[in-house]
A and B are shown apart, each in its own frame.
Chain A
Amino acid sequence: MHSIKKVIGKIEFGILAPQEIRKMSAAEITVPDTYDDDGYPIDGGLMDKRLGVIDPGLRCETCGARAGECPGHFGHIELARPVIHVGFAKTLFRVLQSTCRECGRILLTDEEIEEYMHKFEFAEGRRSEINRLIKEIHKKVKERKTCPHCGAPQFPIKFEKPTIYWETRIDEEGNEYKHRMMPSEVRDRLEKIPDKDLSLLGFHPENSRPEWMVLTVLPVPPVTTRPSITLENGVRAEDDLTHKLVDIIRINNRLKTNIEAGAPQLIIEDLWDLLQYHVTTYINNETSGVPAAKHKSGRPLKTLSQRLKGKEGRFRGNLSGKRVNFSARTVISPDPMISINEVGVPLAIAMELTIPEKVTEFNMEKLKKLISNGPDKYPGANYVIDPEGRRIRIMETNRETVLEMLDIGWTVERHLMDGDIVLFNRQPSLHRMSIMAHRVRVMPYKTFRLNLSVCPPYNADFDGDEMNLHVPQTEEAQAEARILMEVQNHIISPRYGGPLIGGIQDHISGGYLLTREGAYFTRLEVEQMLMFAGVDVDELPEPDRVEKGVEFWSGKTIFSLLLPKDLTIWYENKVGCKDKEKCEKLKKAIEEKLVLSDEEIRELSDDGFVYIRNGKLLSGVIDKKAYGREDGRLLDLIVKEYGTERGKQFLNQVTKLAIWVITHKGFTTAIDDEDLPQDAIERIREIIREAENNVNRLIQAYEMGELDAHPGKTLEETLESLIMQKLAEARDQAGDIASQYLGMGNHAVIMAKTGARGKILNITQMAAMLGQQSIRGKRLYRGYRGRVTTHFKPNDLGAEAKGFVVNSYKSGLTPTEYFFHAMGGREGLVDTAVRTAQSGYMQRRLINALQDLKVDYDGTVRDPSGIIVQFRYGEDGVDPMKSWGGKTLNVDRVIVRTLLKMRGE
């Protein structure tokens, strides 16, 4: 266990030579059958015991091991006549064309050989270059009519897919005739090619000679690679490969007896072709031009190539991606009470997943306790592993003996416990934040619980999403997960250098309710919310206001308790300034003086401009720009200047605080949030009327021929774009009116303005009007001839006939409007479906192309062969994750921060 592991340094590829196949073979297979009537493997059959065993109770006759231990051994079939290997048929064609039919030399002159040898040496390791050279030689050589070495005339060769070669020969009378080259003839020719010429044909004479591409001996893969399955009714179903091998042997035997019996040439050639067919489909059952070999049921057989290919094939399905143990999957649900780097694990899962813990003198007692709890009582243990590596299941019966034997050096596989590190994942894993490390919190019920702030990186919601959990087993893996993968290390996204994890939805609305002007809280409330948020304060600050002996604290004061004590920052927030001038003045004042006096602040403070001085929120309201994802300035700053741990703490506290406020203040949105006063509705109607009139005027002008076409557009296109413009204007105006009547007292507006959820546009659509529906950026036009639905006259170009929806979600859509809306909505759905497929493939290609690149110790970016891709990563060597939104260095911040530190109060 402690020895240094063997490392595979390289893998060589090549073609097996017939002698080699015979040498590695454990048995020659001659019987086209598998088991006898008693279900016992037939000697010399495809399930020969010398090829390994799969039935329990039998022993392998080659290595003596039992089923499961014996890795299996190859056998071989001696083919009565050679056959072409389909995978190499094209190469063989090239080789036949490139070499002399008499002496086997490559059809290049000695000088050319010399020259190309040189070029090959030079191209070493560059695939594209080698490919080019091989192509070039082939092109040059296939036209040669005589051999430059022996002077023999060459005949053109034709290749008929998949495995037939024709030579156009000339007989004594000068007539052309076609001669079919049987594989044996092909093989004879290939044997004559000398080793030194082979490298010019792209071969590696030691590992691959062209004649080996014509099979004379066929290896039979071990039984273990093609196990038969026993169905419930006791019938054995053989693997597809076994079926195919049976076919090959059967035909091979028939061919053999026919040859021995001296059958006519025609019959032999027919059988030969049949053998070729079976070997071809055995290798690749999707060869073009060859009918696929079918199973009795009509399903095409899955032969060698099909096993390797494609998404579920060996390479992508079993080697690039593997199924693993120590993993769990279930539905997720939210839990705002756990930390962002925790995951709630159901008890049932915690008792199934285990962590191996080495017994030491320090944890002996604890582990003994776990063992005595056993596998059915939490916290317990499922297995122990003795120093020899034997795994013993803990059971009622052996519990006492295990406890007695347990000593230092043993390992206990104990249940998952609070604080253990696990990996948590949601597919599709589009970026590295899709798998992060969390700490376990064992909980009742059956779902994984996660903090709401980590939904964005996983792109998770709770409409039935499931997620996977993996338990790293070794200490190295656990340490790496802890250091590199924990959630707080991924608050900042490497994509743009800003926070990806942050407050969402209610966290933001709550932050606004807490910190907006006029939000005051009593001592009871303050104590409760701080307790709830887990903020540890020795003493409350001075109350901001005392009224009739009752103390009040402002939300800003409370919020300040969460901030680091020396944090200073100012920015205009998302809500924005109502009075631009005032904000400008405040900003200027801060920049001029760095430290403002209290009076100045009182005078200039504005909810639209955040000013935090030495950890005190003095002006401005907290919204998405403070700790929301993508543009949370405050969170960004805390993580970068005070560390990820502090960032995690801040986020945990601030989200809980916001949740307390929002639950206790109350925050709902309902249909009456979209109520508009009568005069607003009137005004919107007026706008609609106006817009429709405008459109009708445009149509009239068009029909009268008074409209001028825009340059580069037809008249119709011009009309369309003008109409679209007018209607878009109308919706915007309606939206403006609606928002005039809806103020910050409206919860929907609060959500939109603070960036918690939705946009003003959504409110407009709910309260005022939906506006123009479109498909591909055009007004709706498909349906019937000249009209979208039968409710309109043909060729009606008016607003309503082509998808302009004047109603709002609240007022309700008319039937025609409803259909228009559904048409527009459908486009969105189709779009998403198509897009995911396209972008998924693009990402797979990108990853495959770039995954080997890494930064070396010298700061260069290199590919695995050591080629330098960039001399300095990103031209400045800065990690985007550690940069301020991609900047090499935030000079302003550095200067201000240092000055504040040195000059501070």
Chain B
Amino acid sequence: MPSLSPKSIHSIVESKGAALPINIREELYQKLLEYHKKYRLKKKEVEAIVKEAVEEYEGALIEPGEAVGTVAAQSMGEPSTQMTLNTFHYAGVAEINVTLGLPRIIELVDARKNPSTPIMMVYLDEEHRYDKKKAEEVARRIEGTTILNLAQSITTDIINLEIIVDIEPERLEKSGLTMEDIQKKLKSSFKTAEFEVDGYTLIVRPKKAEKLSDLRKIAEKVKSHRLKGLSGVNKTVVRPSGEEYVIYTEGSNFKQVLKVKGVDPTRTRTNNIHEIAEVLGVEAARNAIVEEIVNTMQEQGLEVDVRHIMLVADMMTLNGTVKAIGRHGIVGGKASVLARAAFEITTQHLFEAAERGESDPLSGVVENVLIGQPVPVGTGMVKLTMRLPIQPKEKE
């Protein structure tokens, strides 16, 4: 018997396995080639395998009516009872803390505008990728530096109404700034004060300071004024990852970092979902939600099928913006008055419904539970009713 050619295997897979998704067909073909090398498959066998694959795939399809939402919610909720609380872990970099475990999941599901520990992984372009020096150069461009970061001590002189800042020379050097730079920067931003530089000492003299509280106010502002880098990015760490160097940042400013010279914008990422939604769009945000939840679950050693997480993420991003799972997000936007009233802030929803003259179409699950009717999922979805003869016809 002539040996099967890869081409004929391919054609069998394509023709008999048309019902399979494309990536599975490809996988099946590759695997068949592999096994063919080992076992010398016959045509009949290949056909049988493909047939079996199709049968198994079709048998594994989800059934219509399955309450996938509830299953997804349970599959995410149930293991979360086993998660640890408040684990601050290290994202491969010892210096940067990341919220993980249950708090992180809640944060994601809540779609918080400001996650408690935003971080970025900044990948670099060809030029800066392989050289630590060059990578650090980019990192310096990214890292937000303020007087506070550089100062050794900050004292307020109450008598002369001045603020005296001692800059630490080492840190100054590391940041790539000079005292003149600082003075210039501050001068251009603060019209209400004068700045004097004396060696490594910076003296801030407000032009109009009658009260001590004014002085304090200005001191606060000057302290946290950004001299260089991106706002929100506090700390950068350069770490080798495989062959290249990657910059990890504490704090995130995704929009700006993509514009920084030397950054590879195609691979750089942040863990702030809203920033992703804003810069790259909801689809990217959806993927980011899935990935973040999967990673958090994995880190805790909990197995949850992606399909459940995808459904949660799809629901959160359904209308083009990232919505939270909760009263201000998805539940709050439900069409059903009863569903909203049964969740939280009952009376307000009822008053509002009365005011607007709303009507509840009773198409969801809770509404029907409330009024005592079958729910429209699973076996309750079937609309067809048949009148059967109540008693068998008498035999003649």
List residues of chain A with CB under 8 Å of any chain B CB. 2, 4, 7-15, 87-88, 91, 125, 127-128, 130, 202-208, 213, 284, 305, 308-310, 313, 315-316, 319-320, 430-432, 480, 484, 494-498, 591-592, 594, 630, 710-713, 721, 776-777, 831, 834-836, 838-840, 842-843, 845-857, 859, 861, 864-865, 867, 869-870, 873-880, 882-883, 886, 888-892, 894-895, 897-899, 901-902
Contacts and interface: CB of A to CB of B under 8 A. Distances in A.
Interface in B210-265: 235, 237
Nearest to B106: A842
A851 B365 contact: yes
B76 interface: yes
B79 A495 contact: yes
Contacts of A710: 94-95
B66 interface: yes
Interface in B1-44: 20-21, 23-24, 27-28, 31-32, 35, 38-39, 41, 44
A850 B311 contact: yes
Contacts of A901: 48
Given A846-B325, A853-B67, A888-B24, 7 more contacts: A2-B390, A8-B371, A87-B347, A432-B74, A853-B69, A861-B314, A895-B31
Given A206-B357, A831-B84, A898-B45, A315 B57 contact: no
B74 A430 contact: yes
Contact of A13 (B305, B329, B330, B359): B359
Given A9-B362, A315-B370, A319-B370, A835 B83 contact: yes
Contact of B78 (A721, A777, A843, A898): A843
21 contacts: A11-B371, A15-B355, A127-B334, A308-B350, A313-B346, A319-B369, A430-B78, A431-B78, A495-B74, A495-B303, A713-B95, A838-B106, A843-B76, A849-B330, A850-B70, A853-B67, A857-B64, A874-B310, A882-B61, A883-B60, A902-B48
A845 B331 contact: yes
B176 interface: no
Task: Enumerate the 5 nearest inter-chain pairs by beta-carbon distance, A residue then B residue, closest first.
Answer: A204-B357, A843-B77, A853-B69, A874-B307, A207-B357
B371 A889 contact: no
Contacts of A886: 305-307
Interface string B331-343: 1111111110111
Contacts of B62: 855, 859, 873-874, 877-879
B151 interface: no
B357 A14 contact: yes
B161 interface: no
A843 B74 contact: yes
B154 interface: no
Contacts of B385: 4
B373 interface: yes
Interface stretch (B126-134, B184-192, B274-282, B374-382): B374-382
A284 B350 CA distance: 13
B109 interface: yes
B189 to A, nearest CB: 28
Contacts of B371: 8, 11
A179 B175 CA distance: 64
Interface string B345-357: 0111011011111
B360 interface: yes
B80 to A, nearest CB: 4
A142 to B, nearest CB: 18
Contacts of A432: 70-71, 74
B284 interface: no
Contacts of B74: 430-432, 495, 843, 847
B315 A888 contact: no
B20 A889 contact: yes
Interface string B75-90: 1111111011111100
Contacts of B307: 873-875, 878, 880, 886
Contacts of B354: 13-15, 207-208
Given A13-B358, A874-B306, A888-B57, A854 B31 contact: no
B177 interface: no
Contact of B364 (A128, A851, A882): A851
A867 B318 contact: yes
Contacts of B32: 895
Contact of B373 (A8, A12, A889): A8
Interface of B: 20-21, 23-24, 27-28, 31-32, 35, 38-39, 41, 44-45, 48-49, 52-53, 56-57, 59-81, 83-88, 94-96, 102, 105-106, 109, 235, 237, 303-308, 310-312, 314-315, 318, 325-326, 329-339, 341-343, 346-348, 350-351, 353-366, 369-371, 373, 376-379, 381, 385, 390
B68 A854 contact: yes
A861 B311 contact: yes
Contacts of A12: 357-360
A847 B60 contact: no
A130 B338 CA distance: 18
Contacts of B355: 15, 88, 91, 202-203, 208, 213
Most chain A CB atoms below 10 A, which of B53, B83, B390: B53
A630 B378 CA distance: 27
Nearest to A429: B74
B52 A897 contact: yes
Contacts of B343: 848
Given A127-B333, A846-B73, A11 B362 contact: yes
B53 A849 contact: no
Contacts of A869: 311, 314-315, 318
A498 B303 contact: yes
Contacts of A208: 354-357
B78 A854 contact: no
Given A203-B355, A843-B77, A876-B21, A308 B39 contact: no
A847 B331 CA distance: 10
Most chain A CB atoms below 10 A, which of B59, B77, B88: B77
Nearest to A880: B305
Contacts of B84: 831, 835
Contacts of B86: 776, 831
Nearest to B74: A431
Nearest to B94: A710
Contact of A851 (B39, B41, B366): B366
Given A91-B355, A202-B356, A854-B68, A430 B81 contact: yes
Given A496-B305, A891-B28, A284 B69 contact: no
B159 to A, nearest CB: 33
A850 B21 contact: no
A891 B27 contact: yes
Contacts of B381: 854
A853 B311 contact: yes
A432 B308 CA distance: 14
Contact of B378 (A9, A854, A892): A854
B41 to A, nearest CB: 8
B312 A846 contact: yes
Contact of A854 (B61, B67, B73): B67
B331 A11 contact: no
B214 to A, nearest CB: 34
Contacts of A890: 56
Contact of A850 (B24, B73, B87, B235): B73
Nearest to A9: B362
Contacts of A874: 62, 305-307, 310-311
A480 B80 contact: no
Nearest to A16: B354
A894 B49 CA distance: 7
Contacts of A870: 310-311, 314
A383 B109 CA distance: 51
Contacts of B59: 882
Contacts of B347: 87, 284, 305, 308-309
Contact of A846 (B31, B109, B337): B109
A242 to B, nearest CB: 21
A565 to B, nearest CB: 19
